[in-house]
Amino acid sequence: MSDTILTLTGVQADIAQYHILQGVDLAVPRGAVTMLLGRNGVGKTTTLRTIMGHLVARQGVIGFDGMDITARATSARARLGIGYVPENMGIFSDLTVEENMVLAAVSGRLLAERRDRIFAAFPPLRTFWTSDAGTLSGGQKQMLSIARAMAEDRKLYLIDEPTKGLAPAIISTMVAALRELKDGGASILLVEQNFAVARALGDHAAVMDDGRIVWSGEMSELADDAGLQERLMGLSMEGK
């Protein structure tokens, strides 16, 4: 079994007439957290969407767990074990928390053991289990969206800005839950603007600029080098 679960080689993708991904080369190690970092608008979300198949790569190869998935449908990628937590959360407001979870389980059943693990990671979901998801707070919705990705065992989680707009206390809950997911052996590719969160969770980092990966290495190396952070990501990431 290769140590790398996902590889992107020269991946290019367009949104309408715009050439957004301009040749992304990325290797995501198995059983670790890789942070995908970079300034606003450089193509991080587009990279996740292209890996999931919501956008079609017009050039390049996406390899997952030893297979070429470049031409596979999104549903096939999900069946192979890729879970995606989009930034806009992708939850159903009119359904209860429980119904949202059951729908997320491919088998249509949520195992009790898995449900208990999710309750342990996100206690508010137990409290609001029978409430409509639309009535949850922003942080609780974010928890539900990550919990939905955990409804089945995934080989790889793609998670887009899970702490965006959350209060500091909720950010710690989110970090603890993501750490638990990581400790369970999951491979995670995580887009994050909060550098403290990136530092706390990341094993590896890849930095994007203008539709390409411009740096990759150990998260600790980037975290310890303020000059490198400034050069790669600008002052906006500093001190966060």
Ligand X SMILES: Nc1ncnc2c1ncn2[C@@H]1O[C@H](COP(=O)(O)OP(=O)(O)OP(=O)(O)O)[C@@H](O)[C@H]1O
Q: Is 51 in the site for ligand X (CB under 6 A)?
A: no
Question: Rounded to 5 degrees, what angle do the CA atoms 106, 111, 117 make?
Answer: 110
In the complex, minimum distance from the CB of residue 1 to ligand X, in angstroms, rounded to a whole number: 31
Backbone region of residue 13 per phi and psi (left: phi > 0; alpha: psi in -120 to 50; beta: other values): beta
Q: What is the biggest distance separating any 2 CA atoms in the chain, rounded to whole angstroms?
A: 49
Residue type, 230: E
Which of 6, 35, 44, 237 lies at the binding interface for ligand X (CB under 6 A)? 44
Q: Is 3 in the site for ligand X (CB under 6 A)?
A: no
Q: Which one of 40-48, 70-78, 107-115, 224-232 is the stretch in contact with ligand X (CB under 6 A)? A: 40-48
Q: Is 56 in the site for ligand X (CB under 6 A)?
A: no
Tokens of 45: 């979300």
In the complex, minimum distance from the CB of residue 165 to ligand X, in angstroms, rounded to a whole number: 12
Q: Which one of 33-41, 56-64, 171-179, 196-204 is the stretch in contact with ligand X (CB under 6 A)? A: 33-41
Q: Which of 92, 80, 97 is nearest to 131 (CA)?
A: 97
Q: Is 40 in the site for ligand X (CB under 6 A)?
A: yes
Q: Is 43 in the site for ligand X (CB under 6 A)?
A: yes
Q: Is 17 in the site for ligand X (CB under 6 A)?
A: no
Tokens of 217: 């290495």
Output 170 or 191, the one with its CB closest to ligand X.
Answer: 191
Q: Is 159 in the site for ligand X (CB under 6 A)?
A: no
In the complex, minimum distance from the CB of residue 157 to ligand X, in angstroms, rounded to a whole number: 17
Q: How would DSSP label each residue in 39-105?
A: STTSSHHHHHHHHHTSS--SEEEEEETTEE-TT--HHHHHHHTEEEE-TT----TTSBHHHHHHHHS
Q: Is 45 in the site for ligand X (CB under 6 A)?
A: yes
User: Site residues (CB under 6 A) for ligand X?
Assistant: 15-16, 18, 20, 38, 40-46
